Amino acid sequence: MQGNSINNIFKKIILESSEMVFLANDFYPYEIFYTNESFEENIGHSLKDKTLIQLGIDVNSFLFKEQILFEFEGSKYEFSFEQPQDNSSNYYLFYKGKTITTNGLPTQEELLQLLNDAQEAYVVAKPDGEVCFSNKKALSLFGFSQDEKLYHLRETGFLFSDRNLWREWLKLGKEQLKTASLVSGKENELILEINATPADLDNNELILLSFKDISDKVALEKNLEESSQFLKNLTDQVPGGLYQMVLDQEGKMSFSFLSKGIATILGMSPEEITSFSDISSAIAKVHPMDLGQVVMSSVSSAKTLQPWQCQFRVKRGDSEDYHWVLGAARPEVLSNGDMVWYGYLTDITAQKEFETQLDDSRKAAEKANQVKSEFLSMISHELRTPLNAISGSTYSLMQDNPQHHQKDALTTINFAVENLITMINDLLDFQKIEAGKLKIEKAPLLLDSLVNQIIQGLSFHAKDTKNTLALEMDEGLDILVNADKTRLAQVLNNLITNALKFTRDGKVEVKVKLIDKMDSRAKVYFQVKDSGIGIAPEDQERIFNDFDQVKPTFSTKYGGTGLGLSITRKLLNLMGSEIHLKSKVGEGSEFSFELELDVMNQPLSDPGKVGLIPSTISSLHLLLAEDNDVNALVLGKIIKKWGYSFERVHNGREAVEAVKKTDFDCILMDIQMPEMDGFEATAAIKKFSDLPVIALTAAAKLEIMDRINEYGFDGFVAKPIDASELLKVIREAILERNQSA
């Protein structure tokens, strides 16, 4: 057959070649008539019918190809292929045959390729440590370039910080899969996780090593451990203690965490605190007096989910030694419905003690201040009575045509006494303002007539100080406003008196301007301007301070306490206003302020009555109720000077009787009198008479102001009596009664 045409030598070479070779007929069923050893080993031995059909080769589909691929029993094969060229050869030649995959498993080459491309680092080593193969990843992991081959190194072991481990681990690898951590790396220390798998390749005992860089993971774990250690230190070291408390859905409360600090606060040992989770043992430690508050605030925090805060006392250990603690916590509802509070407790015993001390000192200081005020107020009142006598007597002496030298002396006495009176009034007012007792008492008043009265009242003083006092008032200020007459008058008096005091042979101008007027409100601007000594810029703020004067020596020259402007400013503030000052040394000063006043809507009484100005009242018969003879004598003299007549009684009871018997125009009623005081008498009189009653009292105005209004007095004059002030009040009271009659 054709077999004979093949040279015997070639036959032998082909037969012994490791590559597979076979020949098949070119006609169906394409019988395989020649095979070499390699073919038999791989394919032939399991081929039942030696035909191309049996091998699954469809010759027609390969006719123009030189390469042929086919699968047989799960393995893939590749052959070079030659078909019959002419009639001289009528067989198919399959040569250079090789297995591509065996039984579905990768070939050795494929395996190496796979390993090379793998994401993990692989090294194949012999049991003695010699490296046969390392993949790309392994090369870069150990710090080699792709060209350097790791297997140039006799063994990989030297790369590890402990070479013995490598050897030991190779032994392990032979037995079974193991994991070990080793430190490796050319430059950096890496932490690697190593897997060793024994692998038999072509009957060679090898070990497949895989390396995983777990340095980051280990660092992270270390970091985590450090952070939790840090947190633990923090919770242990912070002053006070931290805790976590849980309220579960069944309403059970317990501590889920308590730091060491809590043990310190509660006077317990760190061991005790670890088993301290029951809330009732914590509650047992709270002072019985504070328990209610602790429970209530906790319940409220749970209901409203608002942070909890409470100060309470807790028992230390088993003793009765209570310590103050401050507790604060923030509640949070967990997804399972439990409520948890994160909170802290801190010992505030020292702070509490300090607060108590502070409170005690504050109370002591308040008490001392009160004693001082009471003393000051008492002394001032005591001073008023003799001053009243001096002032009244001086006044009446002055009216008795004294001789020239006597007049000088009387003027000096008058100056001194008036100064003293101002001082005492200032001090009393100051006391009231300081104590917050001064209230603005509003009542209807005619704005223009108030201003006129003040100017009139000071016109003598202006003459005394050789100044002209001028008033410039806008039209339209004849309005009835609801304001505090006494305090507004006090402010204007203070400013004008100061202006006159610090001006010689000059001019003091008072301006009142209506800036804005709506139905029920009027904005009024007041200005007091003088051509006096002026105030230096650096002193302009200071003079409004308590007891401050530009020069202390001023008080001897000009008198005063340095309280006037401070009181003025405070009064204006109470009225919702601010005082302004413009001044130039040597040229004069200008004080101004603006007031917003409530305008009373009731129309003024008919012009006839308004025209009845107090000065037209020519003859009046007055009742004077005064128990003190000196005062009665002085007042009597004053009344006579006015050309009025009077009757004197010694107490309230007599006053009531007198009113019943006689027809008076007005009553001057002392407040402090034996048998029946001025309040009671007035109340009794008001029951049957509308006679105007004017209170005369040495008591500080503010203290009795409320009662004076309450008892229906028609006016009020403070002792020591200023004669012109008294006359003004009498006339106003009568006028008012006439108007409302």
In angstroms, give the least distance from the CB of 708 to ligand ADP.
27
Contact between 591 and 581 (Cβ < 8 Å): yes
In angstroms, give the least distance from the CB of 434 to ligand ADP.
15
In angstroms, give the least distance from the CB of 527 to ligand ADP.
12
Q: How far is CA 436 from the centre of its chain?
A: 29
In angstroms, give the least distance from the CB of 495 to ligand ADP.
7
In angstroms, give the least distance from the CB of 453 to ligand ADP.
21
CA distance 701 to 463: 29
Q: Which of 91, 312, 502, 711 binds ligand ADP (CB under 6 A)?
A: 502
In angstroms, give the least distance from the CB of 451 to ligand ADP.
18
- Written as six digits, the tokens of 198 are 């024994």
* Nearest residue to ligand ADP, scored by beta-carbon proximity: 560
C-beta closer to ligand ADP: residue 588 or 715: 588
C-beta closer to ligand ADP: residue 535 or 733: 535
Site map 324..343 versus ligand ADP, x via CB under 6 A: --------------------
- 3-state per-residue secondary structure call for 373-435: HHHHHHHHHHHHHHHHHHHHHHHHHHHCCCCHHHHHHHHHHHHHHHHHHHHHHHHHHHHHHHC
In angstroms, give the least distance from the CB of 483 to ligand ADP.
22
DSSP-derived secondary structure letter, 307 = P
C-beta closer to ligand ADP: residue 197 or 577: 577
C-beta closer to ligand ADP: residue 530 or 670: 530
From the list 78-86, 289-297, 313-321, 494-502, the region that binds ligand ADP by CB under 6 A is: 494-502
C-beta closer to ligand ADP: residue 377 or 589: 589
Which residues 6+ apart lie within 8 Å of 318 measured at CB? Answer: none
In terms of Cα–Cα distance, which of 702, 344, 317 is closest to 490? 702
C-beta closer to ligand ADP: residue 83 or 540: 540
In angstroms, give the least distance from the CB of 556 to ligand ADP.
11
In angstroms, give the least distance from the CB of 721 to ligand ADP.
22
Residue 428 binding ligand ADP, by CB under 6 A: no
Q: Encode 160-169: b = buried (16+ Cβ within 10 Å), e = exposed.
A: beeeebbeeb
C-beta closer to ligand ADP: residue 214 or 471: 471
Residue 420 binding ligand ADP, by CB under 6 A: no
C-beta closer to ligand ADP: residue 453 or 498: 498
Residue 498 binding ligand ADP, by CB under 6 A: yes
CA distance 683 to 668: 14
In angstroms, give the least distance from the CB of 645 to ligand ADP.
39
C-beta closer to ligand ADP: residue 387 or 499: 499
In angstroms, give the least distance from the CB of 585 to ligand ADP.
9
CA distance 478 to 482: 13
C-beta closer to ligand ADP: residue 488 or 533: 533
CA distance 255 to 546: 59
In terms of Cα–Cα distance, which of 508, 511, 403 is closest to 465? 508
- DSSP lists the bridge partners of residue 522 as 517, 597
C-beta closer to ligand ADP: residue 564 or 692: 564
In angstroms, give the least distance from the CB of 561 to ligand ADP.
5
Residue 589 binding ligand ADP, by CB under 6 A: yes
In angstroms, give the least distance from the CB of 432 to ligand ADP.
17
| Size of interface with ligand ADP, in residues (CB under 6 A) | 19
In angstroms, give the least distance from the CB of 288 to ligand ADP.
57
In the window 195-254, what residues touch ligand ADP (CB under 6 A)? none
Residue 57 in 3-state DSSP?
A: coil
Contact between 482 and 511 (Cβ < 8 Å): no
In the window 615-644, what residues touch ligand ADP (CB under 6 A)? none
- DSSP lists the bridge partners of residue 312 as 325
CA distance 650 to 163: 125
Q: Helices 349-399 and 404-434 sit at what angle, rounded to 10 degrees?
A: 160
CA distance 630 to 648: 12
CA distance 541 to 545: 8
CA 592-595-601 angle, 5° bins: 145
Residue 516 in 3-state DSSP?
A: strand
In the window 520-579, what residues touch ligand ADP (CB under 6 A)? 530, 532-533, 535, 543, 549-550, 554, 560-566
C-beta closer to ligand ADP: residue 143 or 506: 506
CA distance 383 to 326: 54
* Other residues' Cβ atoms within 10 Å of the Cβ of residue 512: 19
- The upper half-sphere exposure of residue 710, i.e. CA atoms within 13 Å in the direction of its Cβ, equals 8
Q: Is the peptide bond before 386 cis (omega within 30 degrees of 0)?
A: no
C-beta closer to ligand ADP: residue 347 or 429: 429
- DSSP lists the bridge partners of residue 34 as 23
C-beta closer to ligand ADP: residue 427 or 625: 427
Q: Helices 485-501 and 564-574 sit at what angle, rounded to 10 degrees?
A: 150
Contact between 561 and 596 (Cβ < 8 Å): no
Residues lying near ligand ADP in the complex (CB under 6 A) are found at 498-499, 502, 530, 532-533, 535, 543, 549-550, 554, 560-566, 589
